[in-house]
Chain A
């Protein structure tokens, strides 16, 4: 079962570190299976893999309560799982099955899981920024103590609506944390070719505190997220985290020949900074787990993923009548 964060831990306990390892591993294994399903033509549509960026979703979501909000992106599997989504319902949604989070009608890029505060992934880059900000407005107005986390990639820095809502968030001191996953590529173009000035200058312009984080180190992400969440929850307003990370795969599952926009050498260097391995090494080094214990975690997950994928493959598609239903109340 997916772990469900229930409290905001201020310090990283051994137990939580192990949970983070398991959650990152779950996302990794889930997506490896997604990649297989896509490449064996069992999964139509499109999937954008999060592999390599797992520490960002897991580090941030580990600092959240179950009823805190998140909004996600087209590269959203990691966010959804880290916020508590079940892998079987995720597989179902990606395969277009009736038991999926959106009854098979949303697919990879539109998973919404209200039960866990996930207000939805979105195929439009920057598309969810308004939603997260509105949810934060509600939390502040009703004094619920919730916070909202808005995940987006650095490609969203090109979208105007992001700046409209960052302005509102700062103006009204809303409890929203903008998490910029800086993976250096706007789809197939290096961000330096699309982005003028400095990333940090953007939140600074609105008076939003910004922090730059090593997005491959889940402990660093968690610490920074805890600081931002704590401040937002106590009325200190929004924050902006820039997490430097890297997508190990292409822009989407079919993006295999990437030589024209990034080098094998660069990919190799980033793969040496695998977030799952970085945490595993730390757990071993600190004596929290040995390699065989971590291998058992991996094996259990492999069985869990296989069972969930098999069940999803067997599950029924939605009735064609769904085309016409639920448009209006």
Chain B
């Protein structure tokens, strides 16, 4: 175990996974010589060569399009999108090719590719550098989505994504790239996709969150100490979802608050709420409440705090379910 920042843990995963499988290659803007704008790919070019850590033009559709061809030729490409919103040009390739070929060819063509990107706000960045686009990806058939919230999971989920036979989108909370440190197992470390993490045990209400909202949920739970016992479920993989863990926690506490940084309408939280409505109705003692961003473009830095779900908003929502 070593104590690493979240972005160091990602870098550690890359060194391990490129070292164990020579069909893994990394491609993206500034990933090679520069080591990535957040240094997630630092040292890879020197260690594994420019053919396995490829500096590309600023061309997100071309990057993912080429990655599809690389998969067909037997590679496991990992594409870096420099920022969340820079990934939108590559959505085209993801929707039109990646999610479809396997189904259409009955598994004859597989796509063991990863698209990873820093996502989310809180870093005082300009617009189009702080989006939470997980719902676009989760809505695309044939694609898996993972979002770590700790350094250990950032390493383990990326390793799982790289080894997975299917395309996996990994969104990394850029807010915590350097602000969060944690124990990270050395060497090979894989966190299976589709398994939630119980971040905190409690009896009276559950806060369900992922990525950068997990620490917000944990702080809300702490703020409610003495008043109520709060469980925090970090779902980690949006697709496939660990439905069992979600329903088990809802069954235990009977009260659920879902926290999502992305805009509200048709966000991933709505999917979680729908599952609870379909399968946990008789366990629930209060309506499910969502605490989300608003249906607006992500705001500029001086007003972004008014957008971001806060500990206070989460605490208020939990109290509402407790008082129902």
- Residues of A bordering B, CB below 8 Å: 69, 71, 102-103, 105-106, 110, 112, 114, 119-120, 122, 124, 127, 129-139, 141-142, 148, 160-161, 164-165, 167-168, 171, 322, 325-329
Contacts and interface: CB of A to CB of B under 8 A. Distances in A.
Contacts of B62: 130, 133, 161, 164-165, 167-168
B66 A328 contact: no
Determine which residue in B51, B105, B164 has the highest number of CB atoms from chain A within 10 A of its CB, and name it.
B105
A208 to B, nearest CB: 15
A134 B102 contact: no
B64 A130 contact: yes
A148 B104 CA distance: 22
The range of chain B's interface size is 35 or more
Q: Which 8 A-B pairs have the closest CB atoms?
A: A130-B65, A134-B69, A164-B62, A134-B66, A138-B73, A329-B165, A164-B59, A131-B69
Interface string B46-69: 000001000011010110111111
Contacts of A105: 103-104, 106
Contact of B67 (A134, A141, A325, A329): A134
8 contacts: A129-B65, A131-B68, A133-B65, A134-B73, A138-B73, A168-B56, A168-B66, A328-B166
Given A127-B96, A131-B97, A329-B166, A165 B66 contact: yes
A138 B74 CA distance: 8
A137 B66 contact: yes
A135 B93 contact: no
Contacts of B101: 112, 120
Given A105-B104, A160-B61, A138 B109 contact: no
B45 to A, nearest CB: 14
Contacts of B73: 69, 134-135, 138-139, 142
Contacts of A135: 69-70, 72-73
A134 B68 contact: yes
A325 B104 CA distance: 10
A148 B72 CA distance: 12
Contact of B108 (A71, A112, A127, A171): A112
Interface string B189-226: 00000000000000000000000000000000000000
A326 B74 contact: no
A129 B165 CA distance: 24
B263 interface: no
B295 interface: no
Interface of B: 51, 56-57, 59, 61-62, 64-75, 77, 92-93, 96-97, 99, 101-110, 141-142, 144, 164-166
B8 to A, nearest CB: 28
A326 B70 contact: no
Given A124-B96, A164-B57, A168-B62, A114 B108 contact: yes
Contacts, number: 130
Nearest to A322: B106
A133 B69 contact: yes
Contacts of A124: 96
Given A130-B65, A130-B93, A161-B65, A102 B104 contact: yes
A127 B101 CA distance: 13
B113 to A, nearest CB: 10
A103 B166 CA distance: 20
Determine which residue in A102, A129, A138, A165 has the highest number of CB atoms from chain B within 10 A of its CB, and name it.
A138
Nearest to A141: B51
A112 B104 contact: yes
B69 A137 contact: yes
A326 B102 contact: yes
A106 B102 CA distance: 11
A102 B72 contact: no
Contacts of B105: 102-103, 106, 112, 114, 326
A137 B70 contact: yes
Nearest to B27: A137
Determine which residue in B73, B105, B141 has the highest number of CB atoms from chain A within 10 A of its CB, and name it.
B73
A239 to B, nearest CB: 18
Contact of A329 (B61, B65, B72, B107): B107
B61 A122 contact: no
A122 B68 CA distance: 13
A326 B103 contact: yes
A75 to B, nearest CB: 17
Contacts of A131: 65-66, 68-69, 72, 97
A160 B62 CA distance: 9
Contacts of A148: 69
A167 B74 CA distance: 23
Contacts of B165: 329
B166 A110 contact: no
Given A102-B105, A112-B108, A327-B99, 8 more contacts: A103-B105, A131-B65, A135-B73, A139-B73, A161-B61, A161-B65, A164-B65, A171-B57
Contacts of B109: 112, 114, 120
Contacts of B51: 141
Nearest to B142: A327
B292 to A, nearest CB: 28
A165 B65 contact: yes
A161 B59 CA distance: 8
Given A127-B97, A130-B61, A167-B62, A102 B69 contact: no
Determine which residue in A132, A161, A171 has the highest number of CB atoms from chain B within 10 A of its CB, and name it.
A161
B69 A136 contact: yes
Contacts of A106: 104-105
Contacts of A136: 69
Contacts of A328: 102, 142, 144, 166
A110 B103 CA distance: 12
A132 B69 contact: yes
Nearest to A328: B166
